[in-house]
Structure 1
Amino acid sequence: MRSLQRALLAATLFLLSVAAIPTASAANSVTNEFISNLNEQLLYLAVPIAVLVEGILIYTVWRFRANGDDDGTEPEPTRENRQLEITWTVATALVLLFVGTASFTTLAQPSVSSIIDDPQSDDGPPDAPADAVDVDIVAEQWEFTFEYPDENVTTSDALVLPENQSVYMYVTSTDVIHSVHVPALGLKQDAIPGETHLLRTTATEQGEYRLYCAELCGQGHPEMLSTVRVVDEDEYESWLEEQRSESSDDGN
């Protein structure tokens, strides 16, 4: 029995050490990278535990299949083993401690968590890089509007972001609760009327990604779709110039 206790505790410590090893996963943004790494670590921990538990269950069913005769005699009761109970309680506590620590460490990352922006402050977040791109994402029934206040650009066509550059997105709504969701970039934030929530990320892979509303917001909800385009810096600057030129022509 002591050997079983030691094996159980050793297996738990081994699984925790394997799951704690950082994993390299392909991601299209720093946000998605943090989330993917956490998911992989928890998967590396969960699968062996599931196999171990199922193995013990199958062994127990087979080992004690004859506990009680067909003639109606009562099965023998399980004997109490406090040392074994303490061992699996400690092992469970270690697993939960690892899961909680890994999860809260990921959630504490600025590029994963969102904060409520103070509309009275004009300084912006204290950790914002000088070259960060600011975008106001305004949701309404049933479309998204993207405003670049530093560039004097407003568009509803697509959210265009430069590659490998910090992006600060200020999300709000003008009517009902919507949700900004870009699965490929690991971004999701409810757009709430009267509140502005800040999302921070850095897109690391060029391409087009689906953006849609993930909160049921009325009859036109299924059509509330848009696109995120991640481009290099030169193309981003050209796009801004094109948008300003079009806006100027419309004004004339």
Structure 2
Amino acid sequence: MRHTRLALVSVLSTLALGAVAMPVAAQSSASAELINGLNGKLLYVGVPITILVEAILIYTVMKFRNNDDPTPTQENRRLEITWTVATALILLFVGVASYGVLANENITYQPQAENAAGEAVNGEQQKPVVVRAEAYQWGWEMSYPEAGNFTNGNTMVVPEDRPVVIRTTSRDVIHGFHVPKMALKQDSMPGQVNSIKTVPYETGSYQGYCTQFCGVAHSQMYFTVDVVSQDEYQQWLDTQQKNADSS
């Protein structure tokens, strides 16, 4: 019976660690890469702890299930010191790993720290694409204040492998800008501009929506983020600027 329990624990441990060690799929943005990477690191800590605690629990239940006269637990300073030190080390690891992510500007972007000259991406100096996402009851208006200030309805078009700064605000009530697959989320506040920054890695169309209940048509407040190649983006940008100049 004891060998069976040990074998079961070993199998569960192997399966859990194997799942954690599986290669991570390509990330859609720098923000998603950072957040999913942190989740993976925390799983490396959380899964073994969970397995250990469950194994001890099962062992204790099975061993003492027929004990009708239990005795009080005796003090064990060595054990207490061990789990105190282990807990401190785990919390230190979690704190350092979390700080490395939270300190990154693709997670907590500070507009005043923006470098007008751009930043290095794939070895090249690139100025961020700035998009203004203005929410209203019940829709979105995407505009490009540094590229002619034209609007593009509820569709945001951005290039891949280039920094993107999204400045979101609201015309009326509190809304929420959220693109789950790109790990982008920020409140859209009336009279206030909140900024988020990322670098899109994968071309494609990503669904976004409002996260703050804002009225009867809140569920219809969808928008789209289209990530295209740099050449496609430049062609689209030229077309939009020509149309804005001719109107």
Same fold (TM over 0.5): yes
Alignment-mate amino acid for residue 114 of structure 2: P
Find the residue that maps to 1:155 and give its secondary structure: coil
**2:139·2:154 contact (CA, 8 Å) conserved in 1?**
no
1:148 to 2:144 alignment: yes
Q: Over residues 134-175 of structure 1, what are the superposed CA-to-partner deviations in whole Å (9 max), with x where a residue is unaligned? A: 111111111111111121121114100011111111111111
1:92 to 2:49 alignment: no
Aligned ranges 1:63-78 → 2 under 5 Å: 63-68=63-68, 74-78=69-73
TM-fit CA distance, 1:243? 1.9
1:49 to 1:128, Cα distance in 2 relative to 1, 3 A: farther
**Which residue of 2 is the match for residue 58 of structure 1?**
58
CA distance in 2, matches of 1:162, 1:132: 10
**Which residue of 2 is the match for residue 42 of structure 1?**
42
- Unaligned 5+ runs, structure 2: 1-20, 119-125
Alignment-mate amino acid for residue 138 of structure 1: E
1:37 to 1:127, Cα distance in 2 relative to 1, 3 A: farther
Alignment-mate amino acid for residue 109 of structure 2: S
Percent identity of equivalent pairs: 45
Larger Rg: 1
CA distance in 2, matches of 1:201, 1:177: 23
Count of matched residue pairs = 218
Aligned ranges 1:100-119 → 2 under 5 Å: 100-115=95-110, 117=111
Question: What is the TM-score of this pair, normalised by structure 2?
Answer: 0.82
CA distance in 1, matches of 2:117, 2:38: 25
**Which residue of 1 is the match for residue 16 of structure 2?**
none
**Which residue of 2 is the match for residue 126 of structure 1?**
115
**Which residue of 2 is the match for residue 4 of structure 1?**
none
CA distance in 2, matches of 1:186, 1:206: 15
**126, 133, 137: which one pairs with 1:137?**
133
CA distance in 2, matches of 1:143, 1:210: 14
Find the residue that maps to 1:154 and give its secondary structure: coil
1:226 to 2:215 alignment: no
- Unaligned 5+ runs, structure 1: 1-20, 69-73, 119-123
Question: What is the TM-score of this pair, normalised by structure 1?
Answer: 0.80
CA distance in 2, matches of 1:133, 1:110: 15
Q: Over residues 34-85 of structure 1, what are the superposed CA-to-partner deviations in whole Å (9 max), with x where a residue is unaligned? A: 01100111112111110110001111122223433xxxxx421111112111
Find the residue that maps to 2:181 and give its secondary structure: helix
1:211 to 2:208 alignment: yes
1:128 to 1:107, Cα distance in 2 relative to 1, 3 A: farther
1:242 to 2:235 alignment: no
**Which residue of 1 is the match for residue 29 of structure 2?**
29
